[in-house]
């Protein structure tokens, strides 16, 4: 007989989903058969798998050790399985944690680093997060079999700023909800060429070309070509001038919708592309600032405002984030450019061994 206790990372999910993650190599039919035959029980009682798990619930498996290990697949205590997380943590060890509690974590991602990897060999904030939680003993290798902490919002590789991460299942569900219902307010800083006074909220319609990984913005729905109308998404963005100096404008941008490349494409459609934006920007302006040392779009997620209200189930878990305002200053090159100062190599940009600026810029 094997017994396990439900941790905070596993509480809140359905029992059958937990079992399918734990016994990942077992057919569904086997799991439900074991439940029916009481070879798998929850708190000493027969269960059908639809139960919602609570912290410290006890699960007993009346299975042979060989059967249990067989269906669990690779043992997560195996060093080889956690090595990629440890490597990511070491390579990104100096990332700044802006905020952390028992449920969530917010980290300042530098430009040049992926939020989430697309290829096995890549390193991203997602791997760093698990490596960080392992290194600081917030989680154990074994717990990764049933729940993997992850980021809940993505920034483009060459956009810097705050990435919100769920440390627990409850934390991930909370962040996903407040992002989806737009109660989590998101603000960005960006630099554009020229001295501009802008203070307005602008709507439009965004259409994505998945082949080019690029979007087009149309001011009105009637402007959208018929062939694209089915997939057109309404976007809503507010722009506010914070400061102008040396033929540069610092804008604060608030997102009311969060679509692919929304800020970058929306500003470009208004004739004010972000400095350093290789995809939507002005080539001559980018070349001018590249000579100064700018190697990525100057866009930074600088502020998150959490909702003051929460559901009854969230009252205890997320009281620390209720109404909390998190701010993260932009890289020093923002201030240097506004002050007319010279940039240093890799100012505001993080370059990992084995990559190049050219390859990094291609992905956005």
* 165, 224: one domain: no
**Cβ of 24: how many Cβ atoms within 10 Å?**
13
Do 174 and 190 lie in one domain? The reply is no
Are residues 206 and 255 part of one domain?
A: yes
The count of domains in the chain is 3
Residue 327 lies in a domain: no
Is residue 267 a part of any domain in this protein? yes
Residue finishing a domain among 180, 211, 227? 180
pLDDT digits (tens, 9 = 90+) for 86-121: 999 999 999 999 999 999 999 999 999 999 998 888
Residues 290 and 216 in one domain: yes
Q: Indicate whether 215 and 281 sit together in one domain.
A: yes
Domain check: are 296 and 203 in the same one? yes
Q: What is the CATH number of the domain that holds 67?
A: 3.10.290.10
175 and 144, same structural domain? yes
Both 233 and 336 in one domain: the answer is yes
Q: What is the pTM of this model?
A: 0.83
- The answer to whether position 353 is within a domain reads no
Give the separation between CA 296 and CA 191, rounded to whole angstroms. Answer: 11
Q: β-strands 96-100, 58-61: how paired?
A: unpaired
Distances 36 to 39, 144, 249 between C-alpha atoms, Å: 8, 27, 66
CA quadruple 72, 78, 82, 84: dihedral positive or negative?
negative
Domain that holds residue 65: 2-72
pLDDT of residue 311: 67
Angle at 224 between CA 221 and CA 230, to 5 degrees: 85
pLDDT of 360 reads 34
How many CA atoms within 13 Å lie on the side-chain side of 237?
Answer: 28
Q: In this structure, what are the phi and psi dihedrals at residue 165, rounded to the nearest 5 degrees?
A: -125, 145
Looking at residue 329, its pLDDT comes to 95
Q: Where does a domain end: 72, 92, 127? A: 72
Give a yes or no: residue 250 inside a domain: yes
The Cα–Cα gap between 313 and 317 comes to 8
**Which residues of the chain are under the pLDDT cut of 50?**
76-77, 354-364
168 and 273 share one domain:
no
| Same-domain check for residues 63 and 83 | no
List residues bridging with 45 in a β-sheet. Answer: 42
Residues linked to residue 274 through DSSP beta bridges, in sequence order:
192
> Can you tell me the distance from the alpha carbon of 337 to that of 294, in angstroms, rounded to the nearest whole number?
10
In terms of domains, do 202 and 337 share one? yes
Domain of 298: which CATH number?
A: 3.30.2350.10
Of the residues 180, 212, 229, the one at which a domain ends = 180
Spatial distance between the Cα atoms of 7 and 147, rounded to a whole number of angstroms: 10
Q: Where are the alpha helices (DSSP H) in 181-217?
A: none
> For residue range 27-63, what is the model confidence (pLDDT) as tens digits?
999 999 999 999 999 999 999 999 999 989 999 999 9
Distance, first Cα to last Cα, the chain? 51
Residues 6+ apart with CB under 8 A from 226: none
Q: Is residue 311 part of a domain?
A: no
**Are 336 and 217 within one domain?**
yes
pLDDT of the residue at 204: 95
Give a yes or no: residue 217 inside a domain.
yes
- Phi and psi based region of residue 354 (left: phi greater than 0; alpha: psi -120 to 50; beta: remaining): left
């Amino acid at each position: 007989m094997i017994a396990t206790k439900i941790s905070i990372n596993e509480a809140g999910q359905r029992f059958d989903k937990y079992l399918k993650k734990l016994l990942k190599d077992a057919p569904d039919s086997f799991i439900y058969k074991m439940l029916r035959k009481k070879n798998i029980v929850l708190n000493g009682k027969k269960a059908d798998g639809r139960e919602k798990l609570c912290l410290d619930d006890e699960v007993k498996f009346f299975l042979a050790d060989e059967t249990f290990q067989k269906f669990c697949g690779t043992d997560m205590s195996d060093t080889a399985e956690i090595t990629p997380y440890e490597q990511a943590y070491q390579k990104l060890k100096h990332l700044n944690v802006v905020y952390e509690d028992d449920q969530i974590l917010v980290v300042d991602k530098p430009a040049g680093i992926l939020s989430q990897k697309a290829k096995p060999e890549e390193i991203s904030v997602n791997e760093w997060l698990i490596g960080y939680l392992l290194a600081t003993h917030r989680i154990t290798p074994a717990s990764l079999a049933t729940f993997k902490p992850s980021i809940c919002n993505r920034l483009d590789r060459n956009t810097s700023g705050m990435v919100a991460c769920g440390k627990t299942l409850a934390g991930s569900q909370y962040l996903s909800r407040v992002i989806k219902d737009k109660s989590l307010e998101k603000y960005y800083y960006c630099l554009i060429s020229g001295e501009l006074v802008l203070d307005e909220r602008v709507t439009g319609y965004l259409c994505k070309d998945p082949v080019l990984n690029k979007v087009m913005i149309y001011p009105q729905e009637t402007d959208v070509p018929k062939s694209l109308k089915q997939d057109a998404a309404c976007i809503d963005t507010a722009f506010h001038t914070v400061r102008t100096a040396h033929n540069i404008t610092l804008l604060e941008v608030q997102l009311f919708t969060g679509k692919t490349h929304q800020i970058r494409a929306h500003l470009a459609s208004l004739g004010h592309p972000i400095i350093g934006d290789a995809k939507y920007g002005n080539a001559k302006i980018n070349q001018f600032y590249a000579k100064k040392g700018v190697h990525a779009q100057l866009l930074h997620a600088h502020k998150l405002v959490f909702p003051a209200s929460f559901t009854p189930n969230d009252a205890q878990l997320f009281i620390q984030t209720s109404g909390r305002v998190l701010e993260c200053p932009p890289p020093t090159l923002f201030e240097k450019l506004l002050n007319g100062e010279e940039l240093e190599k890799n100012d505001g940009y993080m370059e990992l061994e084995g990559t190049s600026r050219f390859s990094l810029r291609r992905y956005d």
